[in-house]
Structure 1
Amino acid sequence: MIKQYGVSKRLSMARFTQVVLCVLALHANVCAQQLQWFNYQDNYPRNMATDAQGNVYVTGTDEYDNNNQNMNVFVRKYTASGTLVWERKSTTPFCCSFSDSRGIAVDAQGNVYIAGNFQSRIQFDTTLLESSYSDIFLAKYSSAGTLLWATSLYSSTEFEGDEFVSDLNIDLQNNPVLIGTFQKEMRMDSTAIFPAADAPVSGMSSYILKASARGSWLSLERLDIHLAYSLEIDASGDYVVGGTHKSHVMPHYYTDPETGESDTSYIEMYDIALAKYASGGSLLWNHRYGSADLQDHLYEMKIDSAGNAYVTGYDVPPLGPAATERVVFTKINSSGTLQWTKAYQISGYTPGDSFICTEVAVDKDPHPVFGGQFKGTILLEGQAFTSVSSRDMIIARYDQNGNMISAFTASGTGDDVLSDMVVGSDNSLYLTGFTYPYSSARMGSVAAATTPLHFISKYALMTTPVQTVLGYTLIDAANGQPISELEEGDTISLATLHGKKINIRVNTDPPVVGSVMMMLNGKARTDNTAPYSVKGDLDGAYLPWTPAPRKYTLASTAYSAANAGGEEGGSRTITFYVAARPKPMPATIPLSEKFTMYPNPVLSDLTISVTRPLEKNIGIQIVDFSGQVRHQAELRAGESSKNIDLSKLPKGVYLLKMASGAERCTRRIIKE
C-alpha cells in the first residue's frame, strides 16, 4: 500500500518526452482504437516528442556497427500523416565507441534537442566530441534538420566520473534542461558535485543540468532524489521531478548454506519520490510515497495542465518472488498530496509471467494513459486481459478520479515491447517500440524479420464521450412507452392522462453512462443502470407514480462512474407543473371550481391553473387582512394557467380574491 511521507529535500526532475505506444494487433476489451499509420525502422527507438503542428520526432540508438564496433544515435522527424521528413545520425570515425540517446524535446520554434550518453567519441556532422568515461552529449537541430550545435559536458581525461541522462525538457525561457544520474564526481567548468552521503551502494546520485539555447552550460546542481528519472515543467515554469529514493536499510538474517552459520545482510529499501522547485531552484515541496516493507520504484511521471502528476511504477517485497510484484498507477496533485493509487499484478502467476508498465501520457481531456507489456493474465478493474504471444503491450486510460475508461492490448506473435508513447496535438496516440519475431499477418505487408522489428505508429485516440443529460420523457409506467417529452414550464394535466400511472425517464448522451443523480424537489436519487428513471424501475419495468398537483423542479446530472462517482458531466434542470383532475361539474359551474392554485403555503411562485374553460377574464387580487391590495393580476379567457411571483411579499396570511363578472371567489393563502 503506497503511503505518503513528507521530507524537506532539494531539486530533482521528471521526464518531459511525451509518450508513444505502438499497437500491432488490437484485442479490445473495453474500447478499440483506429490505426492511422504504421512505419518500421532498423534501429532502437527510445523516446518521442511532438510539436504544435502535429509532427512526431523519434530518437534512439542505431544498430551496432560490427566493422568498427560502434553504436551511434539517430533522430527522425515524421509528419502527422507518417511521412518521414528527415533523418540524422551521429557517426564514430574510430573503433569501440558507444552512444545512447535518452531524451528528446522540441522548443517553441520547432527546434529539436536530443541528449544522451557516449563513451570515447561521437561525431555530429563535423563536430567531434570526446570523453574517457561515460559523458553527456546535447545536440540541437533546426526544424529542417540542420545541426545548429552539439556539445558535451566535460572531456578531461583527469576526471573519472560517469554521467547518464534520464530525461530532457525545455523550460519557459527556452533553455534545455537535463536530469540524470552520476557516479564519483560530476563537473561543469569549475563547479563540481559529488554523490550524496546516503547514496545507494551503487554510489549513484542525481543531477540537474541547464544549458542555454546557444549551447553553453548554465548551471549544474545535485538533486537529493537519489535516482531521478522524470522531469516536467508546469504552466508556472516550476520544475516537477520524479524518481526513486533510498529510504532506509533493512537487516536480513539468514543461515549461510555452506557454513551453517547465522549471518546478516542489509537490504536497501526505496520509495517513489516527487519534488517541485521554482525555476530559480527554491524548494516548494518534496514528498516520498511508499511502504516501509516494500521496494517502491518509479518508472515515469507526467503532469496535466493543472499540475497533477501521474506516476507509473511498481512495488515488491525485498525478498519476495516475482509473483508478488505489483504494477502501480498513482495520482499526486500539484501540492504533492497523494490522490489515489491503483495496484495490479498477474492473476494465477506461473514462472515466466510478468507485468511492467513503464510509460504514462496525458491526453487532452485531460486523462492519464498508462502503457507497458505483460505475459499471462491480468485483471484491470474487473476486466481480464490475457496475452496471446510471449509478451503483449497493454494501454489503459483512466479519468482524473482513477476510474478506468478503457483498456486494450496489442500484439504480434512474439515479444512486443513498448519503448515510449506520446499524445499529439490532435489527441492521437503515438507508439514506438519493438517486436520479435515479426508477424506480417498482424503488422502489415512488410517482409518477415529475423531480428527485432522496431516501429512507430499512430492511432486515433477515441475521444472520451462527455456524458450529459439531454432531456426528459414522460413515460406510461404500465407499458414503458413514451407519452411526450417533458420541457421547461410544461403542465402535466392528470385529467388528460385518463388514470395512467406515469414515470419520468432521464435521457443521456451517450445512452449509457456511469450513473445519473436526480433531484426532484430537493429529494435525491441515483440510478446506475439504464433506463434512468426519476421514480425507479425493476429490470427496466418502470415503477408507477401518481404525482400530487403542485410545482416541481427536476435537476439531473450524468457521471462517468456508478453512484455519482467519476467525472461529473452535463446536467439539466427544468420546472414543470401537475394540475389536478377536476371533479364532475354541475350544469352551472361556480367560479371557485374553475381553477386550482398551488402551492399553498407558497414561497415564491403561486400557480393558478384553469380546470374548466373560461368564458370571461378573471381579475385577481392579493389582499392583506387590513384590506390593502398587495398584488393584482388577470387570468384571461383562453389561458390555461397564471404564475404569480410573490417572492417579495412579506410572510403572513393573505386573501386571494377573484372576480369574473358578477361571480366572486375568495381563498386564503399563506406566504412563507
Structure 2
Amino acid sequence: MTCFLRFTHVFLAGVLAGCILTGLFSTCLLAQTITSVAGNGKEGCTGDGGPAIQANLSAINVAVDRQGNFFVVDEIHQRIRKVASNGIITTVAGNGNFGYSGDGVPATSTALKYPAAVTADAQGNLFIADRENQRIRKVAPNGIITTVAGNGTYGFSGDGGPATQAKMSSPRGIVIDAKGNLFFADRENSRVRKIAPNGTISTIAGTGAYGFSGDGGPASSARLAYPTELALDAQGNLFIADEANFRIRKVAPNGIITTVVGSGQGGYSGDGGPATRASIGYPGGIALDAQGNLFFADPSNLRIRKVAPNGIITTVAGDGIEGFGGDGARASSARLSYPAGLAIDGQGNLLIADSGNNRIRKVMASSQSPAVVSVSLINADTEKEIKLISEGETINLASLPTRNLNFRMNTSPATVGSVKMVLSGSYNQTRTETDAPFALFGDNQGNYNAWTPASGSYNLTATPYTGPGGSGSVGTSYSLNFKVTNQPSAVPQVVSFSLINADTDQEIKQLTNGDVLNLASFPTKNLNIRANTQPATVGSVKMVLSGPQSRTQIDNGTPYALSGDKNGDFNAWTPAMGSYSLTGTTYTGSGGTGVAGTPLTLTFQVINQAQLARTGAEASAEDLPVMAYPNPFRESFTLKLKGQADEKIPVVMVDAYGRKVLELLRVDPAGQVIVPSPQLAPGVYVLQVGEGHRTQRYKLVKDK
C-alpha cells in the first residue's frame, strides 16, 4: 500500500504526453545521453528569473510549445512554470495559493488547486487541467486566465452542452489537435472527453463504468479504469494511459479502440517482444515522435519505455533502481525517481519530469551532432565521480577525499567518435581519446590513471569528433577555467539558530535550548529558522527538524534556512503546536557532502497562548507574569511564572463558586510545572497567584 500511495501522488496527478503536430519533429530518439535541464534537485519554488538548472522546483509534468519553451507543472506549489529556450525559468500561472480565484485577471495572480497537466496550441494559448478545481483553464498569450470547461463541481454532467456548465471529476491529461479540439482525461469518471472549438463538450471514450472492455469496438462503448494521460500523433490517433488496466489504448480517427501496450498484468517484463504481451506498472506520461515511436513513463518500474512502430517494446531510460545519477551518460543506465510527465521537443529530444528528483531531464535525440556537455572530477582510487566542475571553480585539494584525480569529458551522445582534450596552465597536457570514458589522463577500461594537480590556474578545452583519433566532423567544444589550491581549514560548524520573521526577513530572537515559542507573542506567525555558521559561508548545511512537523533541509547557500529562501527572502513556515528537536550540521561540500562539522542540537516548544486574562482591574509594579497553556486545557496544563529567583510563589486554583480545587504550595519561578487535572469538571476556573497584596487572579477554562 505504501508504494501504491507513492505512485498515486507522483503520477496519478496527470501527465501531459505532449501534443505532437505534423512536421514538428524530424529526428529519431534512440537510447542516448541523459542530462538535467531544469531543477537543482531540491524541492521548492525558487529561482524565477535565473537559470532553470539552478532553480528549486517540484515537477509532476512537462509540456512543450512551438517556440522551444517547455512548461513545468508544479502540483505542490500550485504553479505552472516556463523554461524559455534560453534556459531562464519564470512562473506563468498560479500565485502559490491553494484554491480557485481570478478568472479574467493575470494568470500569475490567480490561485490553482493541484494543477495536473498543460498543453499549448499553435496560437500560444496554454491550457491547464486545474484538477481539484474541476476545471480546464486557458492562459492567453497576453497572460489573462479564463475557464473553458467545468463549473467547479465534482461529478459528471453536461455532455452535449456548453463545456463551462459541465461537471467533471479530477481532470488530468490534456491535449489539443490541429483542428482546435481539446481532449482531457476525466479520470474519476473513467472517461475521455472532448471540447469542440464551439465550446460543446462530449465523451469520446469510456462508458463511465470502471473496468476493462471494448477493444475492437467503439471507444464510447468501452470500459476504462482511471484514464490519466493522453497523447496525439500526427495521424489523429488518440493514446490513453488506461492506468488501473495496466494498458495504453489507442482510439483511431474512426472511433475504434484497441490496446497497443500492456497485457493487463502489473509488473515489469517483455522488453524485446510485442508490447501487448509486456507487463507494465501504472502507466504515466505518453509522448510520440515523428517516426511513430511511442514513449511512456513506467513510474513504478523507474523506467521510460518505448514502443517502436513494429510493436516491439524496449527501455530507453532508467535502470530500475530509484535514485539520481547518470547525467552525461547513457540514459538506459541512469537512475530515475518516479518519472511522471513526458514531452518531445522540437529537436526530437525526450523531456522527463523526474518527479522524485525534482528535475526535468532530457534524453538527447540520436541525430544531434556530438558535443561535450560537462566535465567530471574523478576519484582515481574508486573510479567514481566526485563532482561536476563549473566555470571559474576553485578546487581545494584539502577538501577532497583523495589527491589521485582525473578529469572525464561527458558527451552527448554518450558515444562519439573521439574527444581531443587540451589542458594548459600550471600543467600542460594534450590527449585524444577514442573510447569512452574520455579521460584527460587516460584509463584502462574505466580504471582511471591518477594525476595530482599542482596549485595554480588552468584552462581545459575538449572537442568531440565524429571519427576516431580526432577525425571526421567537429562537434561542439566545451571550455572552462578553474583553479587548484591546497588550503586546509578548520571544520566549520553551526553555532546558533535564529528565529526569523519571514514577512520582514529580520531576526526575532536567537533560539536557546528548551525555548518555549509563544506564537501569540510574535509580530507574525510567518516564521523561518536560520542556522548561523562559523565561518559565515560553508559548503552546505543540513537541518533536521523532528516533532509535530518534520523536515530535512540541505541548503548550499547563505542564508541557511530551514524552510528555504530566495536570495534572503525567507519562505514562510507556521509551526504546529508541540515539542520539537532541531539539529544542524555543516559540511565542507555542497549537498551535504564532504567533511561534516560538529552538529548543534536544541529542543523547543511551540504554543499559541495569549497572556491569561485578569479577573480584576488591579495592577501594580509587583505583578507576577503568568503563562498557562494550553488554555482551554483538558487533562493537564503547564504553568510558568516569572519572579525573583530566590522566592517560592504559592498558587491556588478555585472554581466558579470560589471553592479551592487545587493548591501548589510553592512554585519555583525559575522553572515550569505540569499540572495534572483529570478530576476537574469542565468549566471556568481562577488561578490565584502570589499572596497578600501581590495576589493576582487569572482565568483558565477546562474543555470537555
After TM superposition, the score normalised by the length of structure 1 is 0.32
Q: RCO greater where, 1 or 2, for CA within 8 Å and sep 6 or more?
A: 1
Structure with the higher strand share, 1 or 2: 1
Larger radius of gyration: 1
